[in-house]
Amino acid sequence: MLKQFAPPPDDTPELLESRPIVKAFYLGAMDTQQKIDRLVRHRRSLGVAESDLGTKIAALVPQENHPGLANAYRKLGKVVQSTGDFHAAQGTAEATTLSDPFAYHSSDALIVKETLTNRHILLRELIQAQQSTRTKLNAADRLKASSSVKREKVDEAISALDEARSHESYLQQKTQRVTANLLVEKRKWFARTAGDLRAGIREYVVRQIEAERRTLATLEAVRPDVRNIDASGGLSRLGREGLVAARRASLLVEIDNV
């Protein structure tokens, strides 16, 4: 319930402004980690589907009588299976290089946020202690101005005032120590977290580039086998020769008309 109150008056703006930033980072890191986990699951499912597709393509080889096409099926099946393995490994790399760091920094930011919240609770306790000290002091002043004062009441008022001042002094010193320590730790945490995230994102990007290059190189390896299905270039042209011839004929007709 105390956490739902507005922040108390604070003479350290750096810490006062840090808590909403840390809270937003905590929520954003947690949301990002959950989305990356979904991406990893989809990437691994893609790898399983590609491996299954490669197996099914390779199963067409015994049924194919055309030697060029049978060879292309065999090579293409292996390539698609390899691509599935690459995507499964890529999903694992995404989990280790990006999902796990975001999960760690999210839980770490939660601890930082709770620590800053506890300082706000300590500030509220200090304000209450100061109010209690003023109340006890006013009560003692009223007894001092009274014409008939009992000794027991005087002793009780002095004892209550001393206790209130002692408690206020304790909270004041504790607040000062906590504030000084948090200022140092907050600056270290901001710098360390920013550096770790930059390094993690850089490693993620490098691994993504390597994975995409490896996948592309694997797919390119099957191109000669597809082109060598038959003498006309196999499936690499996909019927484009007729389209090119038709375009050339139309251009010749246009030139003659001119």
What is the torsion angle, in degrees rounded to the nearest 10, for the CA atoms of residue 31, residue 32, residue 38 and residue 39? 160
235-254: burial string, b at 16+ Cβ within 10 Å, e else: eeeeeeeeeeeeeeeeeeee
What are the start-end ranges of the E strands in 79-182? none
Give, as one character, the DSSP assignment of residue 7: P
Q: What is the pLDDT of residues 173-187, one digit of tens each?
A: 999 999 999 999 999
At 148, the pLDDT band (50, 70, 90 cuts) reads low
Judged by average pLDDT, the poorest of 56-60, 149-153, 253-257 is: 253-257
- What is the average per-residue pLDDT within 28-38? 94
Give ∠ CA 31-36-41 in degrees, rounded to 5. Answer: 130
Q: For residues 91 and 85, give the distance between their C-alpha atoms in angstroms, rounded to a whole number.
A: 10
On whether the CB atoms of residues 182 and 118 are closer than 8 A, the answer is: no
Q: What is the pLDDT of residues 215-256, one digit of tens each?
A: 999 988 888 888 777 766 555 555 555 544 554 455 455 555
Give ∠ CA 90-92-93 in degrees, rounded to 5. Answer: 65
Structural domains present in the chain: 2-227 (1.20.1270.60)
Give ∠ CA 21-25-30 in degrees, rounded to 5. Answer: 155
Is residue 200 predicted with pLDDT exceeding 60? yes
Judged by average pLDDT, the poorest of 33-42, 167-176, 220-229 is: 220-229
The structure's pTM equals 0.74
Exposed, middle or buried by CB within 10 Å (0-12, 13-18, 19+), for 72? buried
Q: Which residue reads 């484009």 in tokens?
A: 240
Residue 234: predicted pLDDT: 57
